Structure 1
Amino acid sequence: MGVGSSYLSRTEVQQLLGVNVFGMWRLVRKYDKFPNPTEKPHSPFNGQEPEEVWDGTQVYSWAAETAEFAHRGAVLLRPLPENPAPGGWAGYRDTLRGPALDWHTDLGVIRVVHCDDRKAATDVASAIVNNGNKDSVVTVCALYGDMGIRGPALVAADTAHPGIEYEASWGDVAALTGQVLPWWPDLLRLSSLIREWKPGTPAPVVEVPANDNEKILRRVAANDTFDVTSRVAATDMANNIRNNRIDNTNHEIEIFCKDRYGDTPNQVIAGAVPDTRHHPLPCDGDRQALKSGWLALALHTHPDAVAALEIAVGREPSLLPFGAVTEIPVRSGTISDRWTHRLTMCDPTAAHAVLAQDGKAEAFFIDPLTDMPVLRTPGDGGKQVWRFYAPLSLPAGGAELASVVLHHTVWVTTSDGHVHPAPCTPTEHLWWGDGWGDRPSEAAAVVNQLLDDLGTTINLRQHYKAPKGLTALFNEEHKLGTELTRATLLHARMTPPRTR
C-alpha cells in the first residue's frame, strides 16, 4: 500500500531526462525546483559507502510538470490533452497481482489493477514489459488504499519506467477514458466479479464471502458433538463477524463512491454491493449464556473447539473464563512453588491447546481452586516455565487478603493459608516498578478491590483511578520476593504519596 521507493544514479537521471553531463549541470542551475540528491538507504550488509542518488518519483514527477521534459516525465502527471477523444473499455485482464481492467485512451492503454498491495503497479508494469507489451499499455494504475480528492487514490507505474511509482488521479484517468470507472470494496474485490463487469451494467448484489473464522464457527455450530450452549455461542460470534463484514463493506462504498467532492462529481461507481436481505443477523445475546457456551468449548477436546477458542481469544476474550496469559520461571522455594504444589495433572483441553501457543508443553495441569488451566514448557534456552491464565476472581470462603508477594507477577496470600496468582483481566498485565512514565495502576486497582472483597470479580476498566497511595507503593522498585502485608497495603491506600 502506498508509493514504492526507487532511486536513480546520476547516470540514470541523465538517461531518464535525455541529457548529457553538461545538460545535467545546466538543469540544476536553471531549475530551482529540480530535486536535490539524497543518500540511498545504507545497508550494513553490503559494506559499501552510501552513494549520492535521486528519488525516482521526485525526478519523474518534476519532469512531467516541466515543459522542457514533460514528454519524458510521468505519463499521468503530464498536462492532459485538450479535448481528448472518448476512450473505451478494452476488457478484463488477469495479472500476477490480481484482476485488472484495460482502457483505451488518447495516451494509449491504461491498465487499472484492482489491488492495493505495495508495489502492485511496478510488478504488473514490469511483467508487461518483460512479456513484450502486446496490448500497448502505457501505464499501470493500482489502488493506493485511500481516498483521493476526485475518487479512490491511485499509484501508477509507466511501462517506460516500471520501477518508478507515483501518485495518480482517479479523476484524470476517468477524463481520459471518458466515463465513470468501477471500484470494488475490499471483500468484493473478486476476480469473478471484475471479469464479468461491463460498462453500463448495474452493480450486482453479492453475498459477502465468509472468512476462515466465520467458517470455523459455523462448523462448530453445526456439529452435534458440542452442546447447545456451545453451538449458540459459536453462532452468535459467527453472526457478529458477518454483520461486521457487511457493515464494513457498506461503509467502504459510502466513502469511496461518494457522489462528489465539493462541486465536482466523482467519476466512480461501485462494481458490486453486498447482499443485505438478512442483515443484520441476531447476535450479542445473553452474555451469561454465551460465557457458559464458551466455557464448555474451553473444556472440550475436539480440534474445532481449539480453533473456535483461538478466534474468541483474539476477538472477544471477555466472554472467556480466563484472565491474562502469564509466564513465570520454574523455581523451587518461591511463592509460586507453593502454588504449583497444589496443581493437579490432567489431560489437555482446548484451553490448554490455545494456552500452549503452538509451543511444546511438557505437562498439563489445572488449579483445583480456580479451575485455571496451567502448563509447564521447556521455555527459551531450555529453562522451564509455568504458563497459565490468571483467574478473573479468587475463591473467598470467608477469607481475606493477607499479603501480596511480588515475584515475576503479583501473588496473593489469604488468611486461610492459600496462595493464588492475582486475578487480572485478559487484556491487562500486573507489574510493579518504574514504568518510564507509566505507573502500575493495574496492580494497585486489583489489590484495592481484593482488600475489600477477596472474592470480587476484578474490573480494570478504570484502573487509572486506583488509590494514589497504592499506585505509589507499586511504583517502587521492589526486589523479587518482596512481601507487602495487609497492614502495609491498607496504610498505603489511606496515605497520599508525598509530592517531590
Structure 2
Amino acid sequence: MALANEPERLSVAGCARLLNIPWRRVRHLVKRRVFAPPTGHDTAGEPYWHRRDLYTWASVDGELLSRVPLDHWRSLGIQAPYLGAETIENTVTALRWHTGVGPVWMLWHWDLDASTCERELPSLAKQLPAAAAVTMVGADYGIDGPALYGVLPGAPAQPVYEMPWSALSNVIGMPAPYWPSRLRRPDLMNDWRPGNPPVVAAADPDMDITSVLRLAVTLDEGSPAWRTLVNLAQTWQHRATKAAKSDLKLLAKHTPAATVTVAATPLAVPAVEKDDLPRDIQRAGWLELLDRTDDLALACVNQALQWDGGEDFPYNMREIVDPATERGAEWVARLVPARRTAAFELLKERDQEAVLFQDPLTDAPVVREGVRGQTRYRMAVPYRLPTTSPLAELILEKPVWVRTQDGTLYPAPQFTPYGPKWGYQGSGPTILATLADLLLDDITAPAPTNYDHPTPKGLEELAQRKWPPGTVLTRAQLEAARRGRPIPETD
C-alpha cells in the first residue's frame, strides 16, 4: 500500500503506458535487468516505479528520449548550437537547436490565443521530422516564466504537457529568447541569434493601424477627421507598447535572469489615449468619415466598430422599424434614397443590391429588407436629436419614438443596447426614464451612457408600467411623474 504522500506507483503495465511502448517489451527488459531499477516492491513482492525515476532512466536512452518530457532531461552541460528559424503554415516561427541527441524546437505563434497550444501543437510537431523535443510558448505565465508547452514526438498520441521555462534553458545550455506578445513578429524572430542585444522595434497594435494612417495622410492636417484618425492610431500604438512593456515587467519579476534573454523591446511612443481628444471633435470627425465612399473609410469605420462599437459616431445603435405601424409608416415616408457610404458598415450591409435610404433629419443610414415575406427597415439610431423644438411626447413602440412640439417624429436617442424600453424592472426602463428626464430639460441632450444619472422615482415607476404598445406619454404626463404627482390619463 502506497504512503499518502508517495508519488503514484507504476506497475509494468503503467511503465509501458507512460513510455508508449508494449508492456511485453517492458517485462522482457525487467527480466533481463536492463530496465530502470525498481523504486521498490509492494507487499506481494511485485516491483513498482515512480514516474521521476522512470524518466531519469529513459532520458539516457536515445530511442526513448523523444518520449520523455523536456523537464526530465539531463543537462548536457554545454551550449547547444543554434541552427536558425523557419516558418510553419505562415503562422508559426520555429527556432531550432541541435543538442547532440536530436533537434529541440521552440515554436512561437504569431497570433496566440488561449487554446492554440493544445489545439495546434501536435499537428505542428508532426511537420518537424526527427525532433527530439518540440515546445511552444503560451500566452500566459507558468511556474518560473512564460508558459511553455511541449509534446512527445516519439509518442504515438503526442499528448501536450506543460513544463517550466527553465527546462528549455537547461537543455539548450543558454538563456531562451523571449519576445513580448506585441513584438512576436516573424522578421524579428528570423533575425535573432544567440548573443544579439535586444532589438528595439515598434509594437504591433491589434487593430488595423495602417488603414487609419493611410486615410489620415489624405486629409487636411488639423481637420476634425484628421485629428480623430491620428488620435486613434496613436492610442492603438500606445496600448500595444504598454502591453509589451507589461510583458517585460512580468518577465523580470517571475523569470530567473539566467534562463531568459529579452530578444526585443518596444519603441517608445507618446502616451496618448482616445479621451485626450475632445468628444465633439471626434464626433465631427466621424460625421465626415461616415459620409465617405472610399475603401479606406470603410476600413476605418469597421476598425472603430471593433475597437469600441463606434461610441463616437453620431449614431451607433441599431433598431428595426415596422412600416405597418402608424409611426413606422410616418417615419418611412420621409426617407430619401441614399448612396452607399461608410455609414452603412454600421448596419453590416454588404449586399450591393440592397435598397439604401437615409433619414434626412438625422443623416442616419437605413436599409430596407424583406424577412419572411414582410418588409422592414433597419436603421441606425442617433445619439442626440438635431432639433431645438422641445419635447412634446414619448411614444412607446418598438422602437420608442420622440415627437417634438413642431410635430416632427424622431427615433428616441440611444447609446446602449439596453434601452430605452418599458414594462419591467431593469436596465431598459431605467434608460427610458433617464432619457425622458434629460429631454424634458434639453431636447438636444445626448442619450444616457450609464445609470449614474439621478432619475426621479416617478419617471422610473412610469417606465416600469406595462403600457400597451402605442401608448403616448405627453409632456404633461412626464412632468407630473417627474414631480411625483398623479399622472393625467394617457391616450
Please tell me the TM-score bracket, short chain as reference. 0.7 to 0.9
| Deviation readout 1:211-237 (Å, 9 max, x if unpaired) | 762111111122259994423332222
2:450 equivalent among 445, 456, 461? 461
Kept in 1: contact 2:459–2:482 (CA 8 A)? yes
Contact 2:314 2:384 in 1 (8 A): no
Question: 1:243-392, aligned counterparts within 5 Å?
Answer: 243-255=238-250, 257-258=251-252, 260=254, 265=257, 267-276=259-268, 279-280=270-271, 284-316=276-308, 317-328=310-321, 330-359=322-351, 362-378=354-370, 380-392=371-383
Taking the aligned partners of 2:202 and 2:349, their CA distance within structure 1 comes to 34
1:59 alignment counterpart: none
Question: 1: distance between equivalents of 2:342 and 2:416?
Answer: 17
The 1:90–1:228 alpha-carbon spacing in structure 2 relative to 1, beyond 3 Å, is: same
Does the CA-based 8 Å contact 2:71-2:163 persist in structure 1? no
Question: Does residue 1:440 correspond to 2:429, yes or no?
Answer: yes
Provide the C-alpha distance between the structure 2 equivalents of 1:459 and 1:296, rounded to a whole number of angstroms.
24
Q: Distance in 1 between matches of 2:181 and 2:266?
A: 11
Equivalence for 1:50: none
Within-5 A mapping of 1:7-156:
13=17, 16=20, 18-19=22-23, 65=51, 67=53, 71=58, 75-76=68-69, 79-81=72-74, 84-94=76-86, 95-96=88-89, 98-105=92-99, 108-115=102-109, 116=112, 117-118=116-117, 119-128=119-128, 131=129, 133=130, 137-156=131-150
The SS at the match of 1:390 is strand
TM-score (norm 1): 0.75
Matched, 1:399 2:394: no
Report the counterpart of residue 407 of structure 2 in structure 1: 417
Instruction: State whether structure 2 residue 177 is matched by structure 1 residue 191.
Output: no
Deviations along 1:388-428, one digit per CA (max 9) or x if unpaired, are: 221222245343232x2222221123333222110112665
Distance 1:143 1:478, change over 3 A: farther
Match of 1:40 in 2: none
**CA gap 1:64/1:88 in 2 versus in 1, 3 angstroms:** farther
Runs in 1 of length 4+ with deviation above 6 angstroms? none
Residues 160-190 of structure 1 deviation map (CA, whole Å, 9 limit, x = unaligned): 1253111111112212222211011233222
Determine if the alignment matches structure 1 residue 482 to structure 2 residue 471.
yes
The match for 1:47 is none
Taking a change above 3 Å as real, the CA distance of residues 157 and 478 of structure 1, as seen in their structure-2 partners, is farther
Q: Does the C-alpha gap of structure 1 residues 442 and 17 become closer, same or farther in structure 2, counting only changes over 3 Å?
A: farther
Corresponding letter in the other structure for 1:103: W
Question: Post-superposition shift, 1:113?
Answer: 0.4
Change in Cα spacing, 1:17 to 1:441, as seen in structure 2 (3 Å) is: farther
Partner of 1:355: helix, strand, or coil?
coil
Query: Structure 1 residues 494, 291: closer, same or farther in 2, change over 3 A?
Result: same
In structure 2, C-alpha distance between the alignment counterparts of 1:235 and 1:296, rounded to whole Å? 15
Residue 223 to residue 468, structure 1, CA distance change in 2 (3 Å): same
- Equivalences for residues 174-189 of structure 1 within 5 A: 174-189=169-184
Moved more, 115-124 or 164-173: 115-124
**Is the Cα contact below 8 Å between 2:202 and 2:266 reproduced in 1?**
yes
Unaligned runs of 5+ residues in structure 1 are 1-9, 24-29, 32-62
For residues 121-180 of structure 1, the C-alpha deviation after alignment (integer angstroms, 9 at most, x for no partner) is 21222223xx4x2xxx22211122101121111111110125311111111221222221
Bigger Rg over Cα: 2
Q: Cα 1:332–1:146, aligned 2, differ >3 Å: closer, same or farther? A: same
Note if contact 1:260-1:266 (Cα within 8 Å) is conserved in structure 2: no
Per the TM alignment, residue 312 of structure 1 is displaced from its structure 2 partner at its CA by 2.7
Alignment partner of 1:233: what SS?
helix
Mapped contact 1:65–1:78 kept (Cα < 8 A)? no
Q: Does the 8 Å CA contact 1:150/1:171 hold for their aligned counterparts? A: yes
Secondary structure of 2:193's partner? coil
CA–CA separation in structure 1 for the residues paired with 2:432 and 2:304: 25
Distance 2:104 2:428 in 1: 56
For each residue in 1:31-73, what CA deviation from the matched residue of structure 2 results, as whole angstroms up to 9, or x when unmatched? 9xxxxxxxxxxxxxxxxxxxxxxxxxxxxxxx98354577489
Structure 1 range deviating more: 178-187 or 145-154: 178-187
Structure 1 contact 17–69 (Cα < 8 Å) conserved: no
What is the alpha-carbon distance in structure 1 between the residues aligned to residue 293 and residue 467 of structure 2?
A: 42
> 2:180 and 2:287 mapped to 1: Cα distance?
37
Match of 1:223 in 2: 218
Instruction: Provide the residue aligned with 2:9 in structure 1.
Output: none
Q: CA RMSD in A?
A: 3.6
Question: Matched residues in 2 for 1:427 and 1:174: separation?
Answer: 50
Q: TM-score, normalising length from structure 2?
A: 0.76
Deviations along 1:411-453, one digit per CA (max 9) or x if unpaired, are 1233332221101126654333447x65632222112212333
Shift, 1:269, TM fit: 2.1
CA-to-aligned-CA distance 1:296-335 (integer Å, 9 cap, x gap): 122223332222222233335233222422223x332422
* SS in structure 2 at match of 1:127: coil
Rounded to whole Å, the distance in 1 between the matches of 2:368 and 2:431 is 26
- CA 1:106 to 1:304, structure 2 compared with 1: closer, same or farther past 3 Å? closer
Q: CA deviation at 1:240?
A: 2.1
Change (3 A) 1:247 1:434: same
